[in-house]
Amino acid sequence: MVYRIGLDVGAQSVNAAVLDEKGNILYVAPYIRHKGRPVDTTKEVLDEIKFRFEGNAFQLAVTGSNKRDFAKQLGAYYVGTIEAQILGAPEDAEQIICIGNSGAKFISRKDSNLDFETNNACAAGSGAYLDEMAAKFNLTPAEFSEFALGSKNPVQISSRCTVFADSDVIGQQQKGAPDVEIAGGCVDAIVRGYIQEIAKGARFTGITSFQEGVALNKAVVKRLEERLSAGRNSSTLVIPEHPYATGAVGAARALNPGHELFDFDYSRFFQEQPNGSCTVCIGARKLVLEKSRIFPDSDLYSFPEKQQQKVNAYLGFDVGSVSTNVVAIDESNNLIARSYVSTGGRPINAIQMGMQ
């Protein structure tokens, strides 16, 4: 028996599926974030498949943002991301909504006519946007999903850009808006932005399949269901059993008996080095901070002993979406004290911590 492995190597995760020669799904690997280690994670996922199906022959197809490099290093067949998502979708789906961690896609195949739009150059409307918003509330993506479900009156958050969205979130927090409604606003923004910017206001009919990692977010699913059944839309949203792995499933389905067998040879992936650097990364420039100047604490103004008394001080606050800076200067513009703390989605608390 020759089994077919589909591998989806994305910006944040590595997903895999195993199909038999008839296209039946035998195994889907758990969702796993590679945390900047796509090569090592890929090897771990493939080794697990080899162990589970020991004694069988395999073919391998690769899709995702790193498909060409990984396919070349592994001696595998590569499949375009659009093709993979189409092959991984239900056959009766007229529209396919794909929202992953680093981009979004809209695929329409009404009346046998194929059309698609992508947004791979911006974090807005992607899983990365939701991850960033979750971090602002000190929640995991799964916790943020549950939390946002409780929103009844979501506030207005920009759907154009994560930078503008950050500013909107800070502004709403400063106005005292409830966190749950801000979270709901973030979810509403990603859905609204997708419908307007990616789907280009398309009319949804029949079956719509929601695929890739963001399909695991219950709050986004709920908001999409509301959108697809309102106004001129009349579509039923369906979610495949393993939505995060539809690309991997589709890649496996693209294989045919004529493709070469995969031998689990990783020698082309790694150099003979202790750190196991991948050949894909050879030639990468080392990050240096030649032009950066880090001021040591000794640069703070030192008062003579006889002046160790109260002085007139002036406070300055720089509240950002990620960090909050607090400084104190005297009447001569000498720096008396400074503090750098994480905003953590709580600007008022950050200011209080900085002043301490």
pLDDT of residue 284: 57
130 and 30 together in one domain: no
Q: Could you give the residue ranges of the DSSP H alpha helices within the chain?
A: 38-52, 67-74, 81-87, 127-136, 141-148, 162-174, 179-193, 218-228, 246-253, 347-355
Q: What is the pLDDT of residue 95?
A: 97
Would you say residue 286 lies in a domain? Answer: no
The answer to whether residue 291 scores a pLDDT higher than 50 is yes
Q: Are residues 204 and 326 part of one domain?
A: no
Indicate whether 102 and 136 sit together in one domain.
yes
More confident residue, 164 or 176: 176
User: Does 49 reside within a domain?
Assistant: yes
Write down the pLDDT at residue 113.
85
**pLDDT band of 204, cuts 50, 70, 90:** very high
pLDDT at 317 over 50: yes
First-to-last C-alpha distance (Å) of the chain: 67
Structure-model confidence comparison of residues 117 and 284, the more confident one: 117
Calculate mean pLDDT across residues 119-134. 74
Domain count, the chain: 3
Task: State the number of CA atoms in the 13 A half-sphere of 144 facing the CB.
Answer: 25
Is 162 or 344 the better-scoring residue by pLDDT?
344
Please provide the average confidence, as pLDDT, over all residues in the chain.
85
Instruction: Name the pLDDT band for 274 (thresholds 50, 70, 90).
Output: very low
pLDDT at 162 over 70: no
Residue 5 has pLDDT above 80, yes or no: yes
Q: Specify the pLDDT at position 65.
A: 82
Residues 94 and 233 in one domain: yes
Same domain flag for 37 and 170 = no
Q: Do 118 and 234 have their domain in common? A: yes
Report pLDDT for 277: 45
Residue 292 maps to a domain: no
pLDDT in tens, 318-352: 987 678 889 888 888 888 888 888 877 677 888 88
Question: Are 274 and 315 in a shared domain?
Answer: no
Whether 274 is in a domain gets the answer yes
Residues 133, 39: one domain?
A: no
Does any domain span residue 290?
no
Q: Which residue has the tokens 């943020």?
A: 144
In this prediction, residue 193 carries a pLDDT of: 87
Contact residues for 36 (Cβ-Cβ < 8 A; gap 6+): none
Comparing CA positions, the residue from 190, 49, 55 lying closest to residue 128 is 190
Question: What's the pLDDT band for 143 if we cut at 50, 70, 90?
Answer: very high
In tens, the pLDDT along 43-89 reads 999 999 999 999 899 999 999 987 788 888 898 999 999 999 999 99
**Whole domain around residue 274: which residue ranges?**
2-85+249-281
Task: Please check whether residue 287 lies inside any domain of the structure.
Answer: no
| pLDDT for the residue 295 | 59
CA distance 60 to 210: 25
Task: Report pLDDT for 172.
Answer: 84
The pLDDT value given to residue 300: 58
On whether residue 36 sits in a domain, the answer given is: yes
Cβ 168 vs Cβ 162: under 8 Å: no
CATH of the domain at 186: 3.30.420.40
Residues 68 and 162 in one domain: no
Please say if the pLDDT value at position 186 is more than 60: yes
Assign 298 a pLDDT band (cuts: 50, 70, 90).
low
In percent, how much of the chain has pLDDT > 90? 48
Residues 14 and 44 occupy one common structural domain? yes
Do 123 and 226 fall within a single domain?
Answer: yes
Do residue 112 and residue 210 come from a single domain?
yes
> Would the pLDDT of 259 be above 90?
yes
Buried b (16+ CB within 10 A) or exposed e, 136-158: bbebebeebbebbbebeebbebb
Average of pLDDT values for 159-180?
76
91-113 pLDDT per residue, tens: 999 999 999 888 899 999 987 78
